[in-house]
Amino acid sequence: MAGAAMAPALWAIKAHFVDKPDLFVQFIVSLPALFIIVTNLCFPLLCRVMKTKSIAMSGLVLYVLSGTGAFFFEDISVILLLRALLGISVGMIMPLSTGLLSYYFLPEEQSHLMGLCAAMNQIGGVIATLIAGVLAKVGWNYAFLVYSMGLFVLILVFLFLPNERLETTKASGGFVCNIKKFYPSVLGMLLLMICFFVFPTNFSAICVKTTTLDPRSE
């Protein structure tokens, strides 16, 4: 939801960058996902050189700086660069959000905690999306300030997360073999994400065209 949180603000951003292609504005939502994938693939290597708290703290600092940093720039290229960095930061944090549950808790507790984790992720996404939409009414760039919510999580991680090194094991059969083994799930998630990103990247534009919303109003 890191990228999709900006979906309600795309109408205001597009109104500001009226001379830029629609694709550039849509990249504000979809570009982070690409860099999340790349960073996730490198996560085992990251675990070998950094401990859990260091990874989480680094990811959250980058998350806040790259997320809110777009507030200060009016160059679409710089904003897209910051969105790429945002994707990298989420790629550092995301595996820890569920991976640490299996590391610190017993198997009989994990299913319940996984459900709570998924629920909290979605609730956080809904709240962030709502706040971004409200901030977009103040100004197109104010929506990026929603990422300052990461400061609260940063404080909690600093106070409570143990700083241990995760043990990583090499998957048997290699990357290609595992893709073949789980390809129905992988293909299903790929199709799901393609359908998902069609919605947030176009929703605000459709609303402006089909309702009385004025993208220039503040």
Write the DSSP string, 198-212: HHHHHHHHHHHHHSS
Whether residue 84 contacts residue 35, with contact meaning beta carbons closer than 8 Å, is answered with yes
CATH number (domain holding residue 48): 1.20.1250.20
| The pLDDT value given to residue 90 | 94
Considering the chain, what is the average pLDDT of its residues?
85
Neighbours of 65 (CB within 10 A): 15
Domain membership of residue 55 (yes or no) is yes
Residue 172, pLDDT above cutoff 80: no
Among 51-60, 109-118, 133-142, 155-164, name the one with the lowest average pLDDT: 109-118
Given a cut of 80, whether residue 70 has pLDDT beyond it is yes
Q: Which residues contact 92 (CB under 8 A, 6 or more apart)?
A: 39, 43, 46, 55, 56, 58, 59, 62
Q: Is residue 205 part of a domain?
A: yes
Q: Is position 216 within any domain?
A: no
Q: Which helix (DSSP H) or strand (DSSP E) does residue 104 occupy?
A: helix 76-104
Q: With contact defined as beta carbons under 8 Å apart, do 97 and 121 qualify?
A: yes
135, 11 contact by CB (below 8 A) = no
pLDDT at 125 over 50: yes
| Residue 215 belongs to a domain | no
Radius of gyration in angstroms for the set of CA atoms belonging to the chain, rounded to a whole number: 19
Q: Is residue 124 part of a domain?
A: yes
C-alpha torsion sign, points 3, 85, 14, 152: positive
E runs forming strands in 72-196: none
Domain count, the chain: 1
pLDDT at 27 over 60: yes
Q: Please give the residue that has the higher pLDDT: either 76 or 168.
A: 76
In a domain, 100, yes or no: yes
Residue 60 has phi, psi (to 5 degrees) of -70, -40
Domain hosting residue 166, numbered range? 4-210
More confident residue, 212 or 120: 120
In a domain, 217, yes or no: no
**Is residue 218 over pLDDT 50?**
no
Task: Determine the pLDDT at residue 103.
Answer: 83
pLDDT band, very low/low/confident/very high, at 99 (cuts 50, 70, 90): confident
Domain membership flag for residue 160: yes
The more confident residue out of 140 and 3 is 140
Percent of the chain scoring above 90 in pLDDT: 42
pLDDT, average across residues 12-36: 90
